[in-house]
Amino acid sequence: MKGRGIRLPLYVTVTLLFGLKTYIVYRFLFSLELENSMQEFILFINPFVSAFLIFAISVWIKKPVRQMKYLRYMALIGTLIIYANLVFYRSFSDFITIPQLMQGDNAGDLGSSILSLVKFYDVFLFADVIFIWYLSKKYQDRVVTNYPRSGKVCALALSLALMVGNFFLAEMERPQLFTRAFDREYLVKYIGLFNYHVYDAFLHSKVKTQHVFADGSELPAIKEYVDTVIDQDGHSELFGVAEGKNVIFISAESLQSFVINNTVNGQEITPFLNSLVEDEDTYYFENFYHQTEQGKTSDSEFLVENSLYPLPRGAVFYTHGQNDYHALPEILGEEGYYSTVLHANNDSFYNRDQMYPSLGFDYFYDQEAYEVTDGNSIGWGLKDKPFFEQSMKYLETLEEPFYAKFITLTNHFPFELDEMDMSIDRYDSNSNTLNNYFPTVRYMDESIEDFFTLLKEEGIYDDSIIIIMGDHYGISSNHNKAMSMYLDKEEITPYDHVQLQRVPLFIHIPGHGEGTVKSTISGQIDIKPTVLSLLGIEADDIYFGNDLFNDDRKEYIALRNGDFITKDYIYTNDSCYDFTNGEVLDEETSTSCMEMSETVKKELSYSDDIIYGDLFRFIKFNKEKY
């Protein structure tokens, strides 16, 4: 067939097909918000720019067979990268980072969670790869490229010029794009998935060197910030109210606040937790936000134990499990507390077997401590009811006072539950995830009620305080259409999305009698200083949260992506919204809101510096001041 018809170089064909496919994924399978025609244009061109840069390299390969192999395998590898991000995005509304890839050994535990994210039409993502494979084999002599050196240089120069042009448009439309690296959606939208991964690799190498070159000189600025912005004056009225009592902490998997005091199909979703809201021994925080990022449950643990922010990329449990910390279990241990975690999953998941000793926990009752059978497990493992039942024999043996953390499993994506365990009906919407969520939430609610009964029967209840906290969201923004239907809204706005990051927090103090509903703007960063205050413990420490019962608090709660909430407004997507009604504030009214965003960035940065530099290794807490 040589010499007949038009000879179209294969790298051009691959660029067009691959670029078009990538754009379709961006536009219709990722939920990337486009605010104007320029953003639409940038989103359209960046897949072709990235593809041309990758595939134009093939013109420098002289041997036709190797040139064809390069194009075939790069198309396949590129498609696999797109698909991996697509599956990840369906679960987390986020993109993969290198630290996330380091958690690859977790994949073996995901099971049906991953399978539920695979769609039948995904096979079409590989259609162009098959076509390219066919062309490169059948018509190699017609599609191979044999440019002179000038032609090769021209192809390379053109690809680089297109990339520079893409970056220039991106920077015009989104100033400081590369300094806001925690916002991965913006990076993908403006420079493309593959350039994002290159940039992510650069960031990864940068933060790895931060530990090597850290020498503790960063600490004075951090300490000054904490003393000025974070530190509180005096104690709250509840300081020492639970002195000497056990601390039982329940991390309620994927529990969001919108289910509290709410119904589905006319049925109460969380009757027991609702009763706690009205309980005179319980403080319920209705404006309490999760602050996790890619580490999800492990991030919430990190926040609770350290009052430091999780990292913007990956899970700190994995990336910095060997750091020196001054965590809640360590501080409590110095006060005579025995600390333990009970969680019916394997000990290596999220690197817990390495991280827990670094945090100061004395023991971890993992999957091996439980009798797990086909009959009492589903989804991610042991169901919550048998989990609490089987945990009692360990709780009864602990020397008091103790700090025991329970991590539930059943209310985990994809929210599977046996029919015999369902007490309420599924919801009816276009989202199976949301539909299944309500029965598993109800099951968890019942399991916590049963656990309270067991604590009372075994005589542990009266000498303990019990904290119940949702660890992170359960329903991602991928299900906004169904959520808007359930919440009876026309759409889920950016303001609504932030408000959906609220998770329940109950602090139950048996016999206290002064509990109430608190509207305090608060977050997981506040748990550590609050627990220490309730127990009457003062510690030499560095943290970014406040005692929830102290009125002398910083004005905002920062989310890990840079959004923040105050009693007056919510900042997200570079806009400020009225906290009460969700209306966008005008430029004049939002001045103080915009100024506070700089403080939030600084706070997140200081927390990152502590972790990346392992700065606590330079401090001797409780021994000498620095």
Domain membership of residue 576 (yes or no) is no
> What is the SS3 assignment for 180?
coil
Judgement on whether residues 176 and 279 belong to the same structural domain of the protein: no
Quick one: 204 and 239 in the same domain? Answer: no
pTM of the model: 0.81
Do 374 and 265 lie in one domain? The reply is yes
Active-site residue, 282 included? no
To the nearest 10°, the Cα dihedral for 120, 90, 29, 42? -150
CATH number of the domain that residue 262 is part of: 3.40.720.10
pLDDT at residue 180, as a whole number: 56
* Active-site hit among 297, 340, 433, 520: 297
Q: Quote the pLDDT of residue 583.
A: 94
How many domains, the chain? Answer: 2
> Is 222 a domain residue?
no
- The answer to whether residue 477 sits within a structural domain is yes
Same domain, 247 and 340: yes
> Which of 539, 560, 581 is at the close of a domain?
560
Select from 526, 560, 594 the last residue of a domain: 560
Q: Which residues in the chain show pLDDT less than 70?
A: 1-7, 100, 102-113, 179-183, 622-626
- Tell me, yes or no, whether 369 and 468 share the same domain: yes
Query: Do 66 and 192 belong together in one domain?
Result: yes
Segment holding 468, helix H or strand E: strand 464-470
Whole-angstrom distance, CA of residue 393 vs CA of residue 247: 17
Assess if residue 268 is contained within a domain: yes
In angstroms, the CA 253 to CA 412 distance is 6
Same domain, 239 and 108: no
Query: Hey, what amino acid is at 589?
Result: T
In a domain, 595, yes or no: no
Q: Are residues 200 and 244 in the same domain?
A: no
How far is 121 from 140, CA to CA, in rounded Å?
A: 30
The token pair at 209 is 């060197």
Token match 């006072």: residue? 401
Within a domain: 241:
yes
620: in domain: no
Same domain for 189 and 262, yes or no, is: no
> Parallel, antiparallel, or unpaired: how do β-strands 288-289 and 517-518 relate?
unpaired
- Regarding whether 181 and 256 lie in a shared domain, the answer is no
Q: Which domain holds residue 133?
A: 10-208
Tell me, yes or no, whether 266 and 128 share the same domain: no
Residues 408 and 521 reside in one and the same domain:
yes
Instruction: Output the pLDDT for position 259.
Output: 98
Pick from 317, 287, 311: which is nearest to 504 by CA?
287
In a domain, residue 624? The reply is no
Q: Which amino acid is at 621?
A: F
Last residue in a domain, options 208, 243, 260 = 208
